[in-house]
A and B are shown apart, each in its own frame.
Chain A
Amino acid sequence: MELKEKLVSSFLAFENTVDIDTSVHDIRSHAIKVFEEKGFPTKKEEAWKYTSLNSILKHDYSIFPKEENALEFTDIKKYILYDLDTYKIVFIDGKYSSHLSETTHDKIDVCLMSSALTHDRYKPIIDNYFNTVAREDGITSLNTAFSSEGAYIYISKNKLADKPIQIIHFSTGTESAQLLQPRNLIVVEENSHVQIIERHQSLTDNPVLTNSVTEIFVDKRAHIDYYKIQNDHENASLIDNTFIQQQAQSIASVHTFAFGGNVTRNNLNFYQKGEGIDSILNGITIIEGKQHVDHNTLVHHTEPNCESHQDYKGIFDEKSTGVFNGKIIVNKKAQKTNAFQSNNNILLSDKATINSKPQLEIFADDVKCSHGCTIGQLDEQALFYMRSRGIGKKEARALLMYAFANNVLESVKIPQLKQRINKLIANKLGVDIGFDV
């Protein structure tokens, strides 16, 4: 049976596991119909022209998480920022792992979507926000239809989350192939601030497909920094759908560190709903082998005096392929918009490819919008310069790549995280030199 049919027919079984007399379930029921109608995206769609899901949809994925497969802290320590005091929401094969997690209801809510969807206490928030910004495309609707678990984070007015929050998903290979569909809801009320780190990590050779949807609401003058670490197993694929709605004078930044996996697709959407908003989208992609990373971004400016800054760096080796598709829409009303986008790439091999496409739709006349894209090789003269100082070829190349990606790295605000990313990059490039400047 094709995956799509299997999913649609599994919806009945799913309904036996959730409360169907809720408004959330009305949303799910509608979503499964949308998915049934639209299905998975194909390369015929403009937005998916360079990313094919065919090879990853052929597996016979198990759809529902079974019992929790226990992992010990020592098994997963290296995937967690453990030298930093954080809240943690940890899932193993889609099931919440209470003994690896550290949640809270003290002033802020850092807990589970399954609780938020079923307890009355959260109903006003769920009714107000759930599925209100997520798009109605096939892949998002699929997640919505089966949405039941994920992270729920609520920061009420004038609160500073006292420490960063890590959301980590592990898959352990208890199933021969596993589909995971986490659903996250994050609400940051007026004047509040939170930092979140998200990671998907497969610990198995078995294929894993994660179709994740995260809705983020950033109220007036609120501030969120979101970091995505994508450094997964070669058989793990990720479709990461993030929808961010911002109110006046809020700041939202998303960093995406795409260091591998099988097929990775990031759909990152910012919707500005007030004046004086800043949206920041940064990314570093470093991949090799046959890995594929696709960044599909959207920033929709609807009100005057807002900004957006996009800076994506890509380094592609061997037969890896990259896509950057950055769309900026500036409504007629959104005068004095400053929207900047840059996508710089280095191809280390003749067989690596990058397709980079800016899409600007500007309907206002008094705006500053710029976009720039470069595709090049490592600078030979710079390599010679470093090597003439006694630095070996591999290290010199690594230093240059590090320098190339540096300004994105510099914008990481959590020092321990920055250090960890440094280390991941050094590992990626196969060098043992300290980058921490």
Chain B
Amino acid sequence: MLEIKDLHASVEDKEILKGLNLQVKAGEVHAIMGPNGAGKSTLASIVAGKEEYEVTGGAILLDGEDIDELAAEERAHKGVFLSFQYPVEIPGVTVTNFMKTAINETRKAQGLEEMPAKDMLKKIREKSELLNIDRKFLSRSLNQGFSGGEKKRNEIFQMAMMEPKLAILDETDSGLDIDALRIVANGVNKLKSKDNAVIVITHYQRLLEHIVPDFVHVLYDGKIVKSGTKELALELEEKGYDWIKEEINA
């Protein structure tokens, strides 16, 4: 589904990704871990199409198609979803209205009719129940005054609404207490299917206890330096990243 080949990327002439390779197939869950500043969030933003980053080499293929030239919204229309580490506050636009706009703009781009209001409401009800989201919450301004946990839950709610092919969760666990973490992880697990894929970016192993990855990768200094299965995450939790740095520098 997603194939990243020898990706080089920089922002303001500073190279952040230095030849990154990653292959994600439908039905898989991948975890990307790594120390601060390794380029994890950059990778997430680049795949989602943030314009500030310049891809200087390599390719990102989605279902075999190079998406480098596509705008963020076009990638979204093709099924890419990024759950933000820091969701943006948008006063005056309610969660419901934002979702209606997002879904109908996406449908328009896909040549579909707007979703009938009745279906939209039904879907909103279903998905908000999945994430234990109070109905009142949906008529509040998007992310404005939301707690850290509410923001993250709202991100996964949006993911549930958009039903992406490829979901990238950028530090979705940060700022969550254990109950919220469980709700969020449970939501992600329910959305998982053989047709979609999830990339979980995280510092910590604890989210991976709930969203169990098929593969774990270590991103360090702009490259994936080590890949393994879920046991690798445990090892990282226990030993930290220094041994990996030593392994590389040796």
Contacts and interface: CB of A to CB of B under 8 A. Distances in A.
B105 to A, nearest CB: 5
A402 B141 CA distance: 12
Size bin of chain B's contact surface: 35 or more
A370 to B, nearest CB: 20
Given A389-B76, A392-B105, A393-B71, A407 B87 contact: no
A201 B88 CA distance: 39
Contacts of B51: 384
A346 to B, nearest CB: 14
Contacts of B29: none
Interface residues of A, number: 29
B81 A388 contact: yes
Contacts of B48: 384, 388
B97 A437 contact: yes
A433 interface: yes
A387 interface: yes
B128 to A, nearest CB: 17
B76 A390 contact: yes
Given A388-B82, A403-B90, A405-B92, 11 more contacts: A384-B48, A385-B88, A386-B102, A388-B73, A388-B76, A389-B81, A400-B90, A403-B92, A434-B101, A437-B93, A437-B97
Interface of B: 45, 48-52, 71-73, 75-77, 80-82, 84, 86-88, 90-94, 97-98, 100-103, 105-106, 109, 141, 158, 162
B183 to A, nearest CB: 21
Given A387-B49, A389-B162, A390-B106, A406 B92 contact: yes
Interface string A85-125: 00000000000000000000000000000000000000000
Contact of B73 (A380, A393, A405, A433): A393
By secondary structure, the A interface counts as helix
Contact of B94 (A385, A404, A433, A437): A437
Nearest to B109: A390
Nearest to B80: A388
Contact of A391 (B92, B94, B102, B141): B102
A352 B158 CA distance: 36
B50 to A, nearest CB: 5
Contacts of B75: 388
Nearest to B86: A381
